[in-house]
Amino acid sequence: MNTIWLLAVVVGVSLLATGALRKYALVRSLIDVPNARSSHSVPTPRGGGVAIVLSFLITLPILAWNDAIAWPVATTLLGAGGWIAVIGFLDDHGHIAARWRLLAHFGGAIWALFWIGGMAPIIVLGHEFNLGWFGYVVGAFYLVWMLNLYNFMDGIDGLASVEAICACVGACLVYWVEGHASLTIAPLVLAMAVLGFLIWNFPPAKIFMGDAGSGFLGIVLAALSLHAAWTDPLLLWVWLILLGVFIVDATFTLIRRLLRGDKVYEAHRSHGYQYASRKLGNHRIVTLSIAAINLLWLVPISLLVTMQYIDGLLGLILAYAPLVWLAFKFHAGELEVVQNA
């Protein structure tokens, strides 16, 4: 099948599946009802992220059979992504204890690392470091943190979808510039799967992603970054830069909450993007602003890194510096009473 037609089909399947899932959520009363911890004010169906999962995973065997992607890559994403989506789907329908969710998350991470082959060597200031077996430990925590932070950051209309699309498109641009066209297929298809869902999820959202979709995106994006690093170690830095908005806000918020002694799995709305949406009174402005940060700031820096104008670590510091400032500015991790005082 022609690539353009395949991408169009993926968008269409995701779009139609999201509509069907919205009807399913209404029938089954899978509704997010606003409460004191919410960033929305209108009861909204949830679980639409399953459309992203299905439209992407169904495409992977087709791509592998046509040699568009390698079978180990397809197996990685099918196994880890599908497993995390199932856990999220069950959690969307009925609460799963945090310890069992975390155990399942590490199970998905171990599967991904087995097929990826662990972590590629890391290049820091021109020096290569091979982590060996310890790379599996680092990789497991990286995958689990990425899937959880993506869940944490899925709190306002369109944000998680826009972040995924920007990161995938940015990565594809980097791959094209670097001459690794074969790496573009998986993130490009993922971007199209998310685009179909975003049509329903763009502010004001008609359906939310749910844990099935957000956790799936987190582990798939992280797995794509670890896989790309085996082609060129600089590409791991590129992905960390492209996902900088989510990584900085979520990590900054988590550290502040840990230092305060909060239960980190307890629902809250103290992320920087949540404070920003309340201050501005508009989800759309925040979501579009983050898209602009991605496309106008993070993508250009990732290109400078891949073209070796700047070192990967220095590029990461440069990219994150204003993001940390924004986290301070919008009180990421602070108790809400501090903001309202």
Say what the pLDDT of residue 257 is.
92
The answer to whether the CB of 157 falls within 8 A of the CB of 203 is yes
Say which range, 31-35, 77-81, 248-252, has the weakest mean pLDDT. 31-35
Taking each helix axis from N to C end, the angle separating 159-178 and 134-153, rounded to the nearest 10 degrees, works out to: 140
Closest to 168 (Cα-Cα) out of 183, 187, 152, 149: 187
Please report which confidence band the pLDDT of residue 211 belongs to, taking 50, 70 and 90 as the band edges. Answer: very high
* pLDDT reading at 338 higher than 60: no
Percent over 70 (pLDDT), the chain: 96
* pLDDT reading at 181 higher than 60: yes
DSSP state of 203: S
pTM for the whole structure:
0.95
- DSSP-assigned states of every residue in 39-99: S-SS-EE--TTHHHHHHHHTHHHHHHHTTSS-HHHHHHIIIIIHHHHHHHHHHHHS---HH
Say what the pLDDT of residue 327 is.
97
Q: What is the mean pLDDT of residues 215-225?
A: 98
Element (H, E) at 32: strand 31-32
Say what the pLDDT of residue 340 is.
40
Phi, psi of 16 (to 5 degrees): -70, -40
Q: What is the mean pLDDT of residues 141-165?
A: 96
Q: Tokens in use for 35?
A: 């409460």
Please report which confidence band the pLDDT of residue 40 belongs to, taking 50, 70 and 90 as the band edges. Answer: low
- DSSP-assigned states of every residue in 84-131: HHHHHHHHHHS---HHHHHHHHHHHHHHHHHHHTSPPPEEETTEEE--
pLDDT 10s digits, 96-123: 888 999 999 999 999 999 999 999 999 9
Average pLDDT over the chain, rounded to an integer: 93
Closest to 159 (Cα-Cα) out of 217, 114, 235: 217
